[in-house]
């Protein structure tokens, strides 16, 4: 791969009430990855999967394209702030359809995996939807934490169930304000 073909990415580390967040963006301001620092190795694995082992370069940056400010507003209670963030990622067409639909889930209104499968017109693909949800490289902005079990229970979240609970409660608290 020629040096010009290497995707140049910025990485910022943002303190939040539930831990330090890694925020990765491209030169156009699209978020390419978000993960928690305690899952940094997973984020790098997903970046390699989507862009190739030598297909990207990360450079530390503070507040690239104002994205830190937007994430900080979200955690301060402006939960709709993340809606305007643009994202771009690899993934299969099916995964991208699930991730696109995740962005349509209203803040404070979680849905089940089954309902999410119905919303992408694949009602029998509940397990595949769950796998795509779990492979989402852009947590919070592509809100995989808003997907719950059919019985309303909290089910897996890449950042841990305590963070998922916190995020859902945070959004419920501020979604109506």
The catalytic site residues sit at 144
Q: Which of 83, 71, 53, 65 is nearest to 10 (CA)?
A: 65
Q: Which two tokens stand for residue 126?
A: 């509940």
Query: 82: Cβ–Cβ under 8 A, 6 or more apart, which residues?
Result: 70, 71, 74, 140, 141, 143
Per DSSP, 87 falls in state B
Q: Which two tokens stand for residue 107?
A: 């803040």
d(CA 132, CA 84): 22
Considering Cα of 11, then 73, then 164, then 141, what sign does the dihedral take? Answer: negative
d(CA 164, CA 86): 22
Residue 41 sits at the vertex; the CA angle it makes with 36 and 42, to the nearest 5 degrees, is 75
């Amino acid at each position: 791969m020629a040096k010009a073909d290497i995707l140049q990415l910025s990485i910022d580390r943002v303190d939040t009430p539930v831990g330090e967040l890694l925020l990765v963006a491209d030169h156009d301001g699209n978020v390419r990855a978000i993960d928690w620092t305690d899952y940094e190795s997973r984020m790098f694995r997903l970046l390699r999967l989507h862009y190739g082992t030598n297909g990207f370069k990360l450079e530390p940056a503070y507040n690239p394209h104002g994205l830190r400010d937007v994430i900080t507003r979200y955690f301060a209670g402006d939960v709709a702030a993340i809606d305007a963030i643009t994202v771009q990622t690899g993934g299969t067409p099916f995964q991208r359809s699930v991730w696109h639909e995740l962005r349509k889930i209203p803040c404070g209104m979680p849905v089940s995996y089954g309902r999410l499968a119905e919303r992408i017109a694949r009602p029998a693909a509940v397990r595949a939807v769950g796998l795509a949800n779990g492979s989402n490289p852009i947590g919070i902005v592509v809100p995989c934490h808003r997907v719950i079990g059919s019985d309303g229970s909290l089910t897996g979240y890449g950042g841990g169930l305590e963070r998922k609970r916190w995020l859902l409660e945070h959004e419920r608290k501020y979604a109506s304000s």
